[in-house]
Amino acid sequence: MFSTLVAFASLALAVVAAPSSRDGAVRVLYTFTDGAYPENIAVRPNGDILVNSLSNGRVYTLDPTARKPQARVLVELAPQAASGFTGITEYERDKFAVVSGKFNLTDFTTKEAAVWSFDAADCGKGSNATTVKPKKIVDIPVSGLPNGITTLDSSRGILLAADSVLGVVWSIDLHRGVARHIAEDATLKTTTAEGLGYPLGINGVHTTRDGSNLYFTNLNTETLYKVPVHRDGSFADNVSLVANIHGGADDFIIGKDGRVWVTGMPTFLNVVHRNGKVDVHDVLQNEANPGKGNPTAAAFGRGSKAQEKILYVVTSWGVVYAVDTTRI
Protein backbone atom coordinates (compact mmCIF):
# COMPACT_ATOMS: atom_id res chain seq x y z
CA MET A 1 0.00 0.00 0.00
CA PHE A 2 1.11 3.58 -0.71
CA SER A 3 4.16 2.20 -2.48
CA THR A 4 4.77 5.40 -4.41
CA LEU A 5 4.72 7.45 -1.22
CA VAL A 6 7.59 5.76 0.58
CA ALA A 7 11.26 5.84 -0.30
CA PHE A 8 12.50 2.92 -2.35
CA ALA A 9 16.08 1.94 -1.58
CA SER A 10 18.15 0.35 -4.33
CA LEU A 11 18.21 -3.43 -4.01
CA ALA A 12 21.26 -5.63 -4.45
CA LEU A 13 19.35 -8.75 -5.43
CA ALA A 14 19.78 -11.82 -7.54
CA VAL A 15 16.42 -11.71 -9.27
CA VAL A 16 14.91 -13.92 -11.92
CA ALA A 17 15.04 -12.25 -15.30
CA ALA A 18 11.81 -10.66 -16.43
CA PRO A 19 10.03 -12.43 -19.26
CA SER A 20 9.73 -10.38 -22.40
CA SER A 21 6.30 -8.94 -23.09
CA ARG A 22 6.64 -10.51 -26.53
CA ASP A 23 6.47 -14.04 -25.10
CA GLY A 24 3.04 -13.39 -23.67
CA ALA A 25 3.85 -14.23 -20.05
CA VAL A 26 3.09 -10.69 -18.90
CA ARG A 27 0.62 -8.35 -20.52
CA VAL A 28 -1.12 -5.13 -19.69
CA LEU A 29 -4.78 -5.89 -19.21
CA TYR A 30 -6.02 -2.36 -18.57
CA THR A 31 -4.75 1.12 -17.71
CA PHE A 32 -6.90 3.54 -15.73
CA THR A 33 -7.09 7.08 -17.11
CA ASP A 34 -9.46 8.70 -14.58
CA GLY A 35 -6.95 9.18 -11.77
CA ALA A 36 -7.77 5.91 -10.01
CA TYR A 37 -5.10 4.58 -7.63
CA PRO A 38 -5.63 0.79 -7.63
CA GLU A 39 -4.97 -0.38 -4.09
CA ASN A 40 -6.51 -3.82 -3.87
CA ILE A 41 -8.10 -6.50 -6.01
CA ALA A 42 -10.51 -9.41 -5.82
CA VAL A 43 -11.99 -11.75 -8.41
CA ARG A 44 -15.66 -12.69 -8.63
CA PRO A 45 -16.83 -16.31 -9.15
CA ASN A 46 -17.67 -15.42 -12.78
CA GLY A 47 -14.06 -14.34 -13.36
CA ASP A 48 -14.61 -10.57 -13.35
CA ILE A 49 -12.00 -8.48 -11.55
CA LEU A 50 -12.86 -5.99 -8.81
CA VAL A 51 -10.40 -3.14 -8.20
CA ASN A 52 -10.48 -0.84 -5.17
CA SER A 53 -9.28 2.73 -5.69
CA LEU A 54 -7.49 4.58 -2.91
CA SER A 55 -7.89 7.96 -4.63
CA ASN A 56 -11.69 7.89 -4.84
CA GLY A 57 -14.58 5.99 -3.29
CA ARG A 58 -14.90 3.58 -6.19
CA VAL A 59 -14.76 -0.13 -6.79
CA TYR A 60 -14.32 -0.91 -10.49
CA THR A 61 -15.14 -4.09 -12.38
CA LEU A 62 -13.73 -5.46 -15.62
CA ASP A 63 -13.92 -8.71 -17.56
CA PRO A 64 -10.34 -9.96 -18.12
CA THR A 65 -11.45 -12.32 -20.86
CA ALA A 66 -12.94 -9.57 -23.02
CA ARG A 67 -11.14 -8.70 -26.26
CA LYS A 68 -10.67 -5.15 -24.99
CA PRO A 69 -11.40 -5.07 -21.24
CA GLN A 70 -13.11 -1.91 -20.04
CA ALA A 71 -13.44 -0.82 -16.43
CA ARG A 72 -16.81 0.26 -15.11
CA VAL A 73 -17.69 1.70 -11.71
CA LEU A 74 -19.51 -0.96 -9.72
CA VAL A 75 -19.61 0.75 -6.30
CA GLU A 76 -19.20 4.44 -5.52
CA LEU A 77 -19.33 6.34 -2.25
CA ALA A 78 -19.91 10.07 -2.06
CA PRO A 79 -16.81 12.18 -1.20
CA GLN A 80 -18.33 13.09 2.17
CA ALA A 81 -18.43 9.38 3.04
CA ALA A 82 -14.93 8.36 1.94
CA SER A 83 -11.94 9.45 -0.11
CA GLY A 84 -11.05 5.90 -1.08
CA PHE A 85 -10.96 2.17 -0.41
CA THR A 86 -8.17 -0.10 0.79
CA GLY A 87 -8.86 -3.79 1.51
CA ILE A 88 -11.46 -6.09 -0.06
CA THR A 89 -12.55 -9.65 0.76
CA GLU A 90 -15.24 -12.05 -0.45
CA TYR A 91 -17.05 -13.19 2.70
CA GLU A 92 -19.78 -15.19 0.93
CA ARG A 93 -20.15 -16.17 -2.69
CA ASP A 94 -20.20 -12.92 -4.70
CA LYS A 95 -20.59 -10.82 -1.53
CA PHE A 96 -17.73 -8.54 -0.62
CA ALA A 97 -16.58 -6.37 2.25
CA VAL A 98 -14.40 -3.31 1.66
CA VAL A 99 -12.52 -0.91 3.93
CA SER A 100 -13.07 2.81 3.40
CA GLY A 101 -11.86 6.03 4.95
CA LYS A 102 -10.83 9.61 4.46
CA PHE A 103 -7.12 9.04 3.99
CA ASN A 104 -4.40 11.63 4.45
CA LEU A 105 -1.56 10.42 2.25
CA THR A 106 0.90 12.90 3.73
CA ASP A 107 0.91 11.84 7.37
CA PHE A 108 -0.71 8.41 6.97
CA THR A 109 -3.79 9.12 9.05
CA THR A 110 -7.42 8.24 8.49
CA LYS A 111 -10.72 9.76 9.49
CA GLU A 112 -14.14 8.09 9.40
CA ALA A 113 -12.81 4.61 8.69
CA ALA A 114 -15.50 2.01 8.07
CA VAL A 115 -16.26 -1.39 6.60
CA TRP A 116 -18.94 -1.70 3.91
CA SER A 117 -20.48 -4.66 2.13
CA PHE A 118 -22.02 -5.14 -1.30
CA ASP A 119 -23.67 -7.98 -3.18
CA ALA A 120 -22.55 -8.45 -6.78
CA ALA A 121 -24.56 -11.62 -7.45
CA ASP A 122 -27.09 -9.90 -9.74
CA CYS A 123 -24.49 -7.99 -11.75
CA GLY A 124 -23.63 -8.78 -15.33
CA LYS A 125 -20.12 -9.24 -16.62
CA GLY A 126 -17.63 -6.44 -17.20
CA SER A 127 -19.04 -3.44 -19.01
CA ASN A 128 -22.57 -4.82 -18.63
CA ALA A 129 -22.43 -4.77 -14.84
CA THR A 130 -24.97 -2.64 -13.02
CA THR A 131 -24.11 -0.29 -10.19
CA VAL A 132 -24.40 -1.81 -6.72
CA LYS A 133 -25.44 0.05 -3.59
CA PRO A 134 -23.10 -0.64 -0.66
CA LYS A 135 -24.24 -1.04 2.94
CA LYS A 136 -22.18 0.18 5.88
CA ILE A 137 -21.40 -2.64 8.29
CA VAL A 138 -19.53 -0.82 11.01
CA ASP A 139 -17.44 2.27 11.74
CA ILE A 140 -13.91 1.62 12.96
CA PRO A 141 -13.84 3.95 15.97
CA VAL A 142 -10.09 4.27 16.57
CA SER A 143 -7.91 3.82 13.52
CA GLY A 144 -4.47 4.78 12.32
CA LEU A 145 -4.62 3.51 8.78
CA PRO A 146 -6.91 0.53 8.05
CA ASN A 147 -5.56 -1.61 5.26
CA GLY A 148 -5.94 -5.26 4.28
CA ILE A 149 -8.98 -7.35 5.17
CA THR A 150 -9.71 -11.09 5.01
CA THR A 151 -12.50 -13.51 5.82
CA LEU A 152 -11.87 -15.71 8.84
CA ASP A 153 -15.24 -17.47 9.14
CA SER A 154 -17.92 -16.86 6.53
CA SER A 155 -20.55 -18.87 8.40
CA ARG A 156 -20.25 -16.61 11.44
CA GLY A 157 -19.49 -13.45 9.47
CA ILE A 158 -16.10 -12.84 11.08
CA LEU A 159 -13.50 -10.79 9.18
CA LEU A 160 -10.00 -9.73 10.19
CA ALA A 161 -8.61 -6.32 9.20
CA ALA A 162 -5.14 -4.82 9.52
CA ASP A 163 -4.23 -1.36 10.79
CA SER A 164 -0.84 -0.44 9.34
CA VAL A 165 -0.16 2.50 11.66
CA LEU A 166 -1.46 1.15 14.97
CA GLY A 167 0.03 -2.26 14.23
CA VAL A 168 -3.04 -4.21 15.30
CA VAL A 169 -5.58 -6.65 13.89
CA TRP A 170 -9.28 -5.85 14.07
CA SER A 171 -12.08 -8.39 14.28
CA ILE A 172 -15.15 -7.36 12.29
CA ASP A 173 -18.45 -9.06 13.10
CA LEU A 174 -20.72 -8.67 10.06
CA HIS A 175 -23.82 -9.91 11.85
CA ARG A 176 -23.56 -7.72 14.94
CA GLY A 177 -21.83 -4.75 13.31
CA VAL A 178 -19.00 -4.72 15.83
CA ALA A 179 -15.31 -3.90 15.39
CA ARG A 180 -12.74 -4.57 18.10
CA HIS A 181 -8.99 -4.98 18.57
CA ILE A 182 -8.28 -8.70 18.52
CA ALA A 183 -4.49 -9.00 18.33
CA GLU A 184 -1.37 -6.96 18.93
CA ASP A 185 2.23 -8.06 18.53
CA ALA A 186 5.65 -6.54 17.84
CA THR A 187 5.67 -8.21 14.42
CA LEU A 188 2.68 -6.11 13.39
CA LYS A 189 4.41 -2.81 14.06
CA THR A 190 7.09 -0.63 12.51
CA THR A 191 10.68 -0.59 13.70
CA THR A 192 13.03 2.31 14.36
CA ALA A 193 15.98 0.44 12.87
CA GLU A 194 17.88 2.44 10.28
CA GLY A 195 17.22 1.51 6.69
CA LEU A 196 13.71 0.25 7.35
CA GLY A 197 11.97 3.59 7.29
CA TYR A 198 8.61 2.70 5.76
CA PRO A 199 6.03 4.15 8.18
CA LEU A 200 3.57 1.26 7.79
CA GLY A 201 3.66 -2.09 9.58
CA ILE A 202 1.15 -4.90 8.96
CA ASN A 203 -0.22 -4.56 5.46
CA GLY A 204 -1.84 -7.48 3.66
CA VAL A 205 -3.74 -10.18 5.58
CA HIS A 206 -5.06 -13.53 4.35
CA THR A 207 -6.27 -16.61 6.19
CA THR A 208 -5.69 -20.18 5.07
CA ARG A 209 -8.70 -21.99 3.58
CA ASP A 210 -9.58 -23.70 6.86
CA GLY A 211 -9.25 -20.47 8.86
CA SER A 212 -6.64 -21.97 11.18
CA ASN A 213 -3.79 -19.64 10.29
CA LEU A 214 -3.35 -15.98 9.42
CA TYR A 215 -0.62 -14.82 7.04
CA PHE A 216 0.36 -11.15 7.06
CA THR A 217 3.01 -8.90 5.58
CA ASN A 218 4.87 -6.07 7.27
CA LEU A 219 5.83 -3.37 4.78
CA ASN A 220 8.26 -1.68 7.17
CA THR A 221 10.28 -4.79 8.00
CA GLU A 222 9.82 -6.39 4.54
CA THR A 223 8.60 -9.67 5.96
CA LEU A 224 5.90 -12.32 5.63
CA TYR A 225 4.61 -13.94 8.83
CA LYS A 226 2.25 -16.73 9.81
CA VAL A 227 0.34 -17.28 13.06
CA PRO A 228 -2.29 -19.81 14.24
CA VAL A 229 -5.53 -18.09 15.24
CA HIS A 230 -8.53 -18.92 17.39
CA ARG A 231 -12.08 -18.81 15.99
CA ASP A 232 -12.39 -15.13 16.96
CA GLY A 233 -9.10 -14.23 15.26
CA SER A 234 -6.99 -13.83 18.37
CA PHE A 235 -3.51 -15.32 18.12
CA ALA A 236 -3.36 -18.94 19.32
CA ASP A 237 0.45 -19.22 19.38
CA ASN A 238 3.61 -17.30 18.63
CA VAL A 239 4.07 -15.53 15.31
CA SER A 240 6.60 -17.21 13.02
CA LEU A 241 8.63 -15.67 10.20
CA VAL A 242 7.86 -17.26 6.84
CA ALA A 243 10.19 -15.23 4.62
CA ASN A 244 12.00 -11.97 4.05
CA ILE A 245 10.50 -10.15 1.08
CA HIS A 246 12.35 -8.06 -1.51
CA GLY A 247 11.05 -4.61 -2.36
CA GLY A 248 8.90 -4.04 0.71
CA ALA A 249 6.13 -6.54 1.44
CA ASP A 250 2.80 -5.11 0.28
CA ASP A 251 -0.29 -7.27 -0.28
CA PHE A 252 -0.25 -10.88 -1.45
CA ILE A 253 -2.31 -13.93 -2.34
CA ILE A 254 -2.02 -17.57 -1.26
CA GLY A 255 -2.22 -19.96 -4.21
CA LYS A 256 -4.03 -23.29 -4.15
CA ASP A 257 -0.66 -25.05 -4.06
CA GLY A 258 0.34 -23.22 -0.88
CA ARG A 259 2.81 -20.83 -2.49
CA VAL A 260 2.43 -17.19 -1.49
CA TRP A 261 2.73 -14.46 -4.12
CA VAL A 262 3.82 -11.16 -2.54
CA THR A 263 4.01 -7.83 -4.37
CA GLY A 264 7.13 -5.72 -3.91
CA MET A 265 8.41 -2.39 -5.19
CA PRO A 266 9.07 -1.32 -7.82
CA THR A 267 8.29 -4.21 -10.19
CA PHE A 268 8.71 -7.41 -8.19
CA LEU A 269 6.67 -10.50 -7.44
CA ASN A 270 8.09 -12.61 -4.62
CA VAL A 271 7.05 -16.27 -4.80
CA VAL A 272 7.37 -17.87 -1.36
CA HIS A 273 7.46 -21.66 -1.46
CA ARG A 274 6.18 -23.88 1.32
CA ASN A 275 9.77 -24.54 2.48
CA GLY A 276 10.43 -20.79 2.82
CA LYS A 277 12.47 -20.46 -0.37
CA VAL A 278 11.80 -17.18 -2.17
CA ASP A 279 11.97 -16.64 -5.93
CA VAL A 280 12.02 -12.98 -6.91
CA HIS A 281 10.59 -12.25 -10.36
CA ASP A 282 10.99 -8.84 -11.96
CA VAL A 283 7.92 -9.46 -14.09
CA LEU A 284 6.26 -6.06 -14.29
CA GLN A 285 9.09 -4.41 -16.19
CA ASN A 286 8.37 -4.85 -19.88
CA GLU A 287 8.76 -3.03 -23.16
CA ALA A 288 5.10 -2.08 -23.42
CA ASN A 289 5.00 -0.11 -20.16
CA PRO A 290 8.51 0.50 -18.80
CA GLY A 291 8.52 1.61 -15.20
CA LYS A 292 4.77 1.27 -14.68
CA GLY A 293 5.20 -0.72 -11.53
CA ASN A 294 4.67 -0.28 -7.79
CA PRO A 295 2.36 -3.28 -7.43
CA THR A 296 -0.08 -3.08 -4.52
CA ALA A 297 -2.04 -6.35 -4.62
CA ALA A 298 -2.61 -9.56 -6.58
CA ALA A 299 -5.32 -12.17 -7.08
CA PHE A 300 -5.69 -15.33 -9.13
CA GLY A 301 -8.30 -15.64 -11.84
CA ARG A 302 -11.46 -17.69 -11.44
CA GLY A 303 -14.06 -19.24 -13.71
CA SER A 304 -11.90 -21.78 -15.58
CA LYS A 305 -8.74 -23.86 -15.20
CA ALA A 306 -6.91 -21.51 -17.54
CA GLN A 307 -7.96 -18.43 -15.55
CA GLU A 308 -6.82 -20.00 -12.29
CA LYS A 309 -3.23 -19.91 -13.60
CA ILE A 310 -3.36 -16.18 -14.33
CA LEU A 311 -2.28 -13.80 -11.59
CA TYR A 312 -3.80 -10.34 -11.86
CA VAL A 313 -1.68 -7.57 -10.36
CA VAL A 314 -2.74 -3.98 -9.75
CA THR A 315 -0.25 -1.13 -9.45
CA SER A 316 -0.43 2.37 -8.06
CA TRP A 317 0.35 3.66 -11.54
CA GLY A 318 -3.14 2.59 -12.55
CA VAL A 319 -2.06 -0.45 -14.56
CA VAL A 320 -3.64 -3.90 -14.24
CA TYR A 321 -1.31 -6.71 -15.34
CA ALA A 322 -2.10 -10.31 -16.24
CA VAL A 323 0.75 -12.70 -15.42
CA ASP A 324 0.77 -16.26 -16.73
CA THR A 325 2.28 -18.02 -13.71
CA THR A 326 3.13 -21.12 -15.75
CA ARG A 327 5.66 -19.11 -17.77
CA ILE A 328 7.68 -17.27 -15.14
The pLDDT of residue 9 is above 50: no
Determine the 3-state secondary structure of 23 from DSSP. Answer: helix
What is the rounded average pLDDT of the residues 65-78? 94
Distance of CA 325 to the CA centre of its chain: 18
The pLDDT of residue 6 is above 50: no
Mean of all residue pLDDT scores within the chain: 89
**In contact, 219 and 256? CB cutoff 8 Å:** no
Distance of CA 154 to the CA centre of its chain: 19
Q: Rounded CA gap, 198 and 107, in Å?
A: 12
**In contact, 299 and 311? CB cutoff 8 Å:** yes
pLDDT digit string, tens, across residues 102-146: 998 788 889 999 999 999 998 887 767 778 999 999 999 887 999
pLDDT digit string, tens, across residues 10-51: 333 344 544 444 467 889 999 999 999 999 999 999 999 999
235 secondary structure, DSSP code: B
pTM exceeds cut of 0.85: yes
Task: Give buried/exposed letters for 109-146 (b at 16+ CB in 10 A, else e).
Answer: ebeebbbbbbebeebebbeebeebebeebbebeebbbb
Closest Cα partner for 147 from 47, 244, 218, 211? Answer: 218
| Domains of the chain as residue ranges with CATH | 21-53+147-327 (2.120.10.30)
pLDDT digit string, tens, across residues 200-245: 999 999 999 999 999 999 999 999 999 999 999 999 999 999 999 9
